[in-house]
Amino acid sequence: MVMKEIPKSHPRYFSLETREQLAKAVKKGITHETGLIAHGRGEAFDYLIGEKTIPFADDAERVAAALLILAKNPVISVNGNVAALSPRACVTLAESVPAKLEVNLFHRTQKRVRLIVKELKKNGAKQVYGENVDTSIPGLLHDRGLCSNEGIYVADVVLVPLEDGDRCQAFRNMGKKVIAIDLNPISRTARMAHITIVDNVVRALPAIERWVKGLKHFDQADLQNMISSFDNIQMLRDVLGFLSKRLNSLL
């Protein structure tokens, strides 16, 4: 069954449409085939939380927006899955902060990087870092460590959509603040990040942008208080409690 034959009233329409987007992105060379496996893992957790933004995620999105606003040099890291699903949302969020965009890939080839840069520019990005890398993150020996000296390397805050545990740890070792979007609340990424957003990236990026626009005129002291009062580990415990209650209610 092709997508055009599935009515939007279908209860799994959004999920099926997302899968189709990723499959097309694999064929185009934007997304690596292993990205389909990563998406499937995230989709399972999204199903468990009810495929909607839960209150704990909304709160994390608000705090993430505050951190991005206060950052001196924020960067949004973009991989193949994110470029396939939310290229325009990455661009508009970067514009609203403002923040830089940088392509960073585990399965890195120059062709894939160029394709993702092209996709982001097609969606309005004026400048995208990551095509001409000139330095690396200390302690990361694989291609995810490659980055731009004007982008991720000098960032004080990095938004990392999707799982990336070892890079989160490396960023922390460099003194950077890390915002992660990860549907898996028990992943290493979720536990390593300063702020973890347990939400689907297609919902999380626009939500952060809405909060950025809503918080832009707040006093810096108020924004800092939001950040200081946020307890990421407790939030993850709350998400697990939510999941446990929801699962019990379904039986």
The Cα–Cα gap between 161 and 200 comes to: 9
Task: For residue range 107-151, list pLDDT tens digits in order.
Answer: 899 999 999 999 999 999 999 999 999 999 998 888 889 999 999
Is the pLDDT at 200 greater than 50? The verdict is: yes
Q: CB–CB of 216/69 below 8 Å?
A: yes
Q: What is the pLDDT of residues 52-65, one digit of tens each?
A: 999 999 999 999 99
Task: pLDDT band for 2, please (50, 70, 90 cuts).
Answer: very low
Compute the C-alpha angle 235/94/65, nearest 5°. Answer: 30
Can you read off the two tokens belonging to residue 114? 């160029």
Calpha distance 44→48 (Å, rounded) = 6
One-letter amino acid at 57 equals A
Neighbours of 21 (CB within 10 A): 18
Q: Which domains does the chain have, with CATH numbers?
A: 55-250 (3.40.50.12640)
Cα-based angle 155, 38, 23 (whole degrees, multiple of 5): 105
pLDDT in tens, 219-232: 999 999 999 999 99
Give the residue, 188 or 5, on which the prediction is more confident. Answer: 188
pTM of the model: 0.93
Mean pLDDT of 240-249: 95
Query: Can you tell me the distance from the alpha carbon of 141 to that of 37, in angstroms, rounded to the nearest whole number?
Result: 23
